[in-house]
Amino acid sequence: MRILMSARVSRQVGVVFMRTNLISGFQMSVSYWFDLVLQGMGGPIRDWVYDFLDKKGIKRDDIPSRFEDVVKILHERLGTSARVIAYRTMVELYKEFSLSANFDYEDSIEDRFVFLKERVLADRLHPTRTPSLKLAF
């Protein structure tokens, strides 16, 4: 009985550990691709976006966990330019997790983000292109 219970606890800890790794990998990927998209727009724009988000209470480390808020805040200030940032980030994230980015520019970025996060956790998807994460998985 004791061995059976120990195996159950061990399995539960393993599931929690795997989920934590998946979430960490997902968040690191969000951070990496968001930053790369911003870099593609130029250093001054990248710096301005991070500074603006910081003034709105979103630190750089918080961007992955508050991505939906980031999109809303940037959209209020930048309009359609924010949509370009969010859309390009999402396309790269879908590629990162080997999923087809079969959504249109007009689709809800927030819905696509939630769907991606759920797929990463449910299907135990690992990042494939983020340089610092290639070795971890």
Domain residues for 53?
2-134
Tens-place pLDDT, residues 77-101 = 999 999 999 999 999 999 999 999 9
Question: Domain tally for the chain?
Answer: 1
User: Residue 134 — pLDDT band, cuts 50, 70, 90?
Assistant: low
| Per-residue pLDDT reduced to its tens digit, 31-50 | 999 999 999 999 999 999 99
Shortest CA distance to 133 belongs to which of 123, 122, 120?
Answer: 120
pLDDT at 23: 81
Is residue 57 within 8 Å of 105, Cβ to Cβ?
Answer: no
* pTM listed for this prediction: 0.79
Contact (CB, 8 A) for 90 and 101: yes
